[in-house]
Amino acid sequence: MTEAVNWTELRREAAEAARRAYAPYSGLRVGAAALLDDGEIITGCNVENASFGLTLCAECGLVSNLYDSGGGQMLAISVVAGDGDPLMPCGRCRQILIEIGGPELKVDSDDGPRRLDSLLPGAYTEADLNERKD
Ligand SMILES: [Zn+2]
């Protein structure tokens, strides 16, 4: 079922979600709201953590933007630090990238491009899930 978008309502829902955010470190509260095809509205907010290790990485934002902008197949990715030099994706991001970009995704490194599957050998993938589920 397709419904017209009530942007005023959607923005209000997003603003309410932002008020529920947990952002004591940056002070930047963020909320999001989406209208689903069944008419439901879902929301989300940012949640920070004192460990900072649980902070969402640049690659996570990239993948979100990929889908938010309509999707597509990634062929190569470069992740750099503030000095402009390559920074390898963390373990969590490698897992995220292998599902979204595939094992052949080229990853920039100090030693030149590397296939993602060389950075995450024996990766858990959708195939494992399909083979092992009940
Ligand atoms: Zn990461």
Residues 14-37, mean pLDDT to the nearest whole number: 77
Distance 118 CA to ligand 1 centre (A): 17
In the structure, ligand 1 is a single-atom ion and the residues with CB under 5 Å from it are 57, 90, 93
Establish whether 59 is a catalytic residue: yes
Measured CA to CA in angstroms, residue 111 lies from 9, 71, 87, 91, 107 at distances of 50, 29, 11, 19, 10
Contact, 72 vs 63, CB < 8 A?
no
Domain ranges for the chain: 1-54, 56-121
Per residue in 29-80, pLDDT tens?
766 655 666 777 777 666 778 887 676 667 876 777 777 777 778 887 777 6
Q: Domain spanning 1-54 has what CATH number?
A: 3.40.140.10
**What 3-state DSSP class applies to 122?**
coil
Tell me the residue type at 94. Answer: R
Which of 3, 16, 59, 126 is labelled catalytic?
Answer: 59
Domain 56-121: which CATH number of 3.80.30.10, 3.40.140.10, 1.10.3330.10, 2.60.40.10: 3.40.140.10
Tell me the residue type at 82. Answer: G
Calpha distance 96→132 (Å, rounded): 20
54's tokens: 């649980």
pLDDT of 105 strictly over 70:
yes
Distance 38 CA to ligand 1 centre (A): 33
Distance 128 CA to ligand 1 centre (A): 22
Compute the mean pLDDT over every residue in the chain, rounded to the nearest whole number: 80
